[in-house]
DNA sequence: TATTGTTATACTCTATAACTATA
DNA sequence: TATAGTTATAGAGTATAACAATA
C-alpha cells in the first residue's frame, strides 16, 4: 500500500467522527479487554496459565524456537519469555537444549508430555470459549474467524 | 434459542475437527491475547491505565453507577473495582457521593475533569489503535465492527 | 440474616535496567 | 563491540478471604 493511499484512508476514516457513537477503536478495545479478562478468569484444573498455553501453542505451530524468537512471535520482551519458559520447563512441558552453532542461544521445544498436553488439555482450557462459540451462528463464527486473522495481523505490527 | 438447537449447533461445530488447522477458539484466543498485550504496552504520557480508561468509558456511556454495578459491567470482582475507583478518585477523574436511599452503596461518576479527559486524552491513548485500524480496508473495519459486537456479547455472558 | 463495599493478601503478567556469556 | 539471554526489581491487574456497615 502506498503512503498516499494510506493517508487518504486515514483521512476518510478519521474524518467523520460521530460523537454520539463510540469509535470503532473504543468498541474493539473494550471487547478485547473484556474477552481477555474472561478467558484468563476461566479456571481449569490445570496449573498452566493462558500465557503459558499461548507460548506452547506457538511452539506447537512453529516447532523448536530460540527464546528470542519465541518472545518476538508472542510479542513480549525477552525477560518475560524467560520466566514463561522456566515455568514450563519445571513442569516438564518444554525442554531446552544448546544451540548447535551459537553458544549464546538455546533451542526450546515441546516435550512429549508438552505435546500431549497441547492435544488434550488445551481443549479443556478452551472449553468455555468453544461452548460460547458454539452458541453463535455459523455466519458469526465465519466472521470471527476472519476477524481473528485481522486482529492477529494488527497485533503483530 | 432452544436447548436442542444449541446442542445441534455444538455438535455440528465440534464434530469436524481438523488437526492440521488450529481451531477457531485457538486462533481467537491468540489474537485477543496479543492485541490486549499490544494495547497495554502502548504507552501514553498519561498515568491512566487501560483498565482505568475502560472503567471511565463505562461511566461515560452509562452515567453514574454504584461500585457494584460498575464491577459487573466491566466483568471484574468488586475488590478489583474498589482499587480502580480509588485510583481514579485520587486523580480527581471520578467522584463518589452517598447513595440517596441506601447507606451501604455509593454513586460513582465522572468529574468535569474526568469527562474532559475522556473526550481529549482517550483518543490519544487510542492513537495507535486508530492508526492501525486506518491502515485496514473499509471492509475489514466493517468486519471488525461486527466482530467487536459479537466478542463483547460473548464476554458479557 | 443478606447485601454492599472495603481491607488484607497473594499471584500472574509484564516491563525496564543491569548483568553474564558468547560471537 | 554487539547480541542472546538471565537476574533483579517493580508495577499493573486481578482474585479470594475476611471484615465492617447497612438493610
* Same-domain status, B117 and B51: yes
* Same-domain status, A121 and A133: no
Could you check: is the Cβ of residue B88 within 7 Å of any atom of nucleic acid strand C? Answer: no
CATH of the domain at B100: 1.10.10.10
Alpha-carbon span B20 to B57, nearest angstrom: 41
Report pLDDT digits (tens) over B65-99: 999 999 999 989 999 999 999 999 999 999 999 99
CA of B51 to C1' of D19 (A): 27
C-beta atoms of B34 and A75 within 8 A: yes
B126 — pLDDT class (breaks 50, 70, 90): confident
Residue A95 lies inside a defined structural domain of this protein: yes
pLDDT, residue B16, reads 46
* Same-domain status, A131 and A73: no
Burial of A4 (0-12, 13-18, 19+ CB in 10 A): exposed
- For residue A101, the distance in angstroms to the closest alpha carbon of chain B comes to 31
Alpha-carbon span A65 to A72, nearest angstrom: 10
C-beta atoms of B54 and A31 within 8 A: no
Residue A15 lies inside a defined structural domain of this protein: no
Residue B12 lies inside a defined structural domain of this protein: no
Overall domain count for chain B: 2
* Same-domain status, B120 and B138: no
Per-residue pLDDT of chain A (157 residues; tens, 9 = 90+): 544 455 555 555 554 444 456 788 888 988 898 888 888 877 665 678 889 988 998 999 899 999 999 999 998 999 999 999 999 999 999 999 999 999 999 999 999 999 998 887 666 667 788 889 999 999 999 999 999 999 988 887 6
* Same-domain status, A93 and A153: no
Q: Identify the CA nearest to A61 among candidates B147, B26, B9.
A: B26
A-chain residues near B152 (CB < 8 A): 27, 30-31, 34-35
Q: Which domain holds residue B142?
A: 126-157
End-to-end CA gap in chain B = 15
Would the pLDDT of B12 be above 60? no
* Same-domain status, B70 and B95: yes
* Same-domain status, B115 and B48: yes
Tell me the C-alpha to C-alpha distance, in Å, between residue A149 and each of A120, A142, A145.
24, 11, 7
Per DSSP, the three-state class of A37 is helix
Residue B32 lies inside a defined structural domain of this protein: no
* Same-domain status, A100 and A47: yes
* Same-domain status, B86 and B151: no
Most confident of A31-35, B44-48, B60-64: B60-64
* Same-domain status, B156 and B134: yes
A42 shares contact with chain B (CB less than 8 Å): no
**E strand or H helix at A41, and its extent?**
helix A24-41
Residue A117 lies inside a defined structural domain of this protein: yes
Residue B38 lies inside a defined structural domain of this protein: no
Amino acid at each position: 500500500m502506498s503512503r498516499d493511499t494510506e493517508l487518504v484512508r486515514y483521512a476518510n476514516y478519521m474524518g467523520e467522527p460521530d460523537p454520539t457513537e463510540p469509535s470503532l477503536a473504543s468498541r474493539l478495545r473494550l471487547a478485547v479487554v473484556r474477552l481477555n479478562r474472561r478467558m484468563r478468569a476461566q479456571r481449569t484444573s490445570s496449573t498452566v496459565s493462558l500465557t503459558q498455553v499461548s507460548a506452547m501453542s506457538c511452539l506447537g505451530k512453529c516447532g523448536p524456537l530460540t527464546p528470542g524468537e519465541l518472545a518476538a512471535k508472542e510479542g513480549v520482551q525477552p525477560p518475560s519469555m524467560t520466566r514463561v519458559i522456566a515455568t514450563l520447563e519445571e513442569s516438564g512441558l518444554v525442554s531446552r537444549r544448546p544451540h548447535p552453532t551459537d553458544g549464546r542461544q538455546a533451542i526450546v521445544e515441546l516435550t512429549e508430555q508438552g505435546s500431549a498436553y497441547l492435544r488434550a488439555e488445551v481443549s479443556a482450557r478452551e472449553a468455555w470459549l468453544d461452548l460460547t462459540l458454539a452458541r453463535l451462528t455459523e455466519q458469526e463464527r465465519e466472521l470471527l474467524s476472519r476477524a481473528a486473522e485481522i486482529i492477529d495481523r494488527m497485533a503483530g505490527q
